[in-house]
Amino acid sequence: MCAMEPVLLLLCLSLLANGAEAKVLGREARFGGTVLPLRVQEVPKAPTQAPANRIRFRHDVSLTVTVAVGTPPQNVTMVLDTGSELSWLLCNGSCVPSPPPPAAAVFNSSASSTYGAVLCSSPECQWRGRDLPAPPYCDVPPAPSNACRVSLSYADASSADGLLATDTFLLGGAPPVHVLFGCITSYSSTSDNGNNATNSSEAATGLLGMNRGSLSFVTQTDTRRFAYCIAPGDGPGLLVLGGDGAAAPPLNYTPLVEISQPLPYFDRVAYSVQLDGIRVGRALLPIPKSVLTPDHTGAGQTMVDSGTQFTFLLADAYVALKGEFLNQTRALLAPLGEPDFVFQGAFDACFRAPEARMDAASRLLPEVGLVLRGAEVAVAGEKLLYRVPGERRGEAGAEAVWCLTFGNSDMAGMSAYVIGHHHQQNVWVEYDLQNGRVGFAPARCDRATQLLGAVA
């Protein structure tokens, strides 16, 4: 593997709610980094490399970045996911997904002179590391194929199969690096809404795995530090890949949780931190420490995940948060009053109100704080509520439906706490692998982008 030199890459991030194209700034930043488009867009959740106790929703908003892959380079859109390991691309040419996606949404492996399928006899295929739930494998004789394969399956009943392959990946001004990835040849999903990863030219081509596993992009390129700052609305934000962290604001760090022995429900290559408490306004919820700490099976870890939109809490913590939030907002928010309504199968604290009234109420909502060991992620204002698309109530549909952006992990089939990227907006988040920690600081991400020279 060719290790990436420690370089500082800035990737401009914009929220394209109306489908407007991000502006690609074709100039060098003041400190030598290169500006690339990274955006937050609504994309269907295609399969990701995650343990069986994780679930990915098919409809989600994801952080996406354009990466140049192959020779000559092809620009592909990849979801930036700190909760996944093996990067993958939907492929055509020698790899034909079923059903085939539009040409704009795939990587043409046959057109790249540097593409190579990993052979069964190679050390990469015979690798039996502890990180991937299912290691690469070979076809059983007498199958004629000599290619190494990967097979992925997920808790939402989606699955993907393909080849283990290698090609050059290029991000900004850094030297191209050879990276192992999954060239997906078939993908199936239980989705029946016609909006899956293979029916839109705007869909992501694949996923950039950024966890700490042996086959992640971070590990393969020897990246020891990266950070991002996500701006809300349509404002610009940035991703910093590499460097020494000098560009970051003053950060509060929380150590990564390490467990040496394998446990069935603990993801050892995730960015796992310790959740010490949850507060609503000034009220610290009476949640026992045992509820916030991984148990003997590993269930109950807390993960920082850029690949999940919202934040999920185990049932005991979720019930406590929901009850206190409803109590403190009784005079501000009108409950939906439909006990059977559960958004995305995990969000049942929902409300109804006209948009203007909710905009005014959001400024008065109590802040929710996720208290970590040495740091805190504070969620306030508009980030606390999410408008459910297509749901209207009242006379002539005058009222929209809104749900609290904290979900119930148990209802979603998970056994972990997950801090999603919706609650990381206007927060500088730094993943410091060199020192085994994650840093947080409140930030105006649009201003940070300007100060670092990522916008004109």
- The confidence band for 32, taking pLDDT boundaries of 50, 70 and 90, is very low
pLDDT tens per residue, range 117-166: 999 888 888 765 546 667 787 876 655 578 888 876 654 556 678 899 99
pLDDT confidence of residue 111: 94
Question: Which run of H or E residues covers position 77?
Answer: strand 74-81
Residue 390 exposed, middle or buried by CB count within 10 Å (0-12, 13-18, 19+): exposed
Residue 162 exposed, middle or buried by CB count within 10 Å (0-12, 13-18, 19+): buried
Arithmetic mean of pLDDT, 359-387: 96
Report d(CA 439, CA 215) in Å as an integer. Answer: 24
Mean of all residue pLDDT scores within the chain: 79
Joined tokens for residue 374: 């040495």
Report d(CA 203, CA 199) in Å as an integer. Answer: 8
Interior CA angle at 326 toward 323 and 331, to 5°? Answer: 155
Arithmetic mean of pLDDT, 217-245: 83
* Residue with more model confidence, 278 or 138: 278
Of the candidates 60, 267, 276, 305, the residue annotated as catalytic is: 305
Would you say residue 257 has pLDDT above 90? yes
Ranges for all domains in the chain classified under CATH 2.40.70.10: 34-223, 252-444
Handedness of CA 322, 58, 380, 313 (dihedral sign): positive
Choices 3.10.129.10, 2.60.120.10, 3.40.50.10490, 2.40.70.10: CATH for 34-223: 2.40.70.10
Handedness of CA 133, 136, 141, 145 (dihedral sign): positive
pLDDT tens per residue, range 299-311: 999 999 998 889 9
pLDDT confidence of residue 104: 47
Percent of the chain with pLDDT over 90: 51
pLDDT confidence of residue 448: 75
CB within 8 Å of 356: residues ≥ 6 apart: none
pLDDT confidence of residue 153: 61
pLDDT confidence of residue 236: 67
pLDDT tens per residue, range 60-70: 457 778 889 99
To the nearest 10°, the Cα dihedral for 98, 103, 104, 107? 70
Report d(CA 56, CA 157) in Å as an integer. Answer: 10
Of the candidates 81, 267, 276, 432, the residue annotated as catalytic is: 81
Would you say residue 49 has pLDDT above 50? no
pLDDT confidence of residue 102: 54
Would you say residue 251 has pLDDT above 50? yes
- The confidence band for 171, taking pLDDT boundaries of 50, 70 and 90, is confident
- The confidence band for 28, taking pLDDT boundaries of 50, 70 and 90, is very low
* Residue with more model confidence, 454 or 286: 286
Percent of the chain with pLDDT over 70: 73
- The confidence band for 39, taking pLDDT boundaries of 50, 70 and 90, is low
Whether 244 is catalytic is no
Choices 2.40.70.10, 1.10.357.10, 3.30.300.30, 3.40.50.300: CATH for 252-444: 2.40.70.10
Would you say residue 389 has pLDDT above 60? yes
Would you say residue 12 has pLDDT above 70? no
Report d(CA 350, CA 337) in Å as an integer. Answer: 8
Whether 305 is catalytic is yes
Task: Please provide the DSSP assignment of 404-438 as one string.
Answer: ESEEETTTTT--SEEE-GGGGBTEEEEEETTTTEE
pLDDT confidence of residue 189: 57
Handedness of CA 190, 192, 195, 200 (dihedral sign): positive
Arithmetic mean of pLDDT, 229-255: 82
* Residue with more model confidence, 243 or 384: 384
pLDDT tens per residue, range 399-456: 999 999 999 999 998 999 999 999 999 999 999 999 999 999 999 887 876 676 554 3
Residue type, 261: Q
pLDDT tens per residue, range 208-221: 999 999 999 999 99
Would you say residue 44 has pLDDT above 50? no
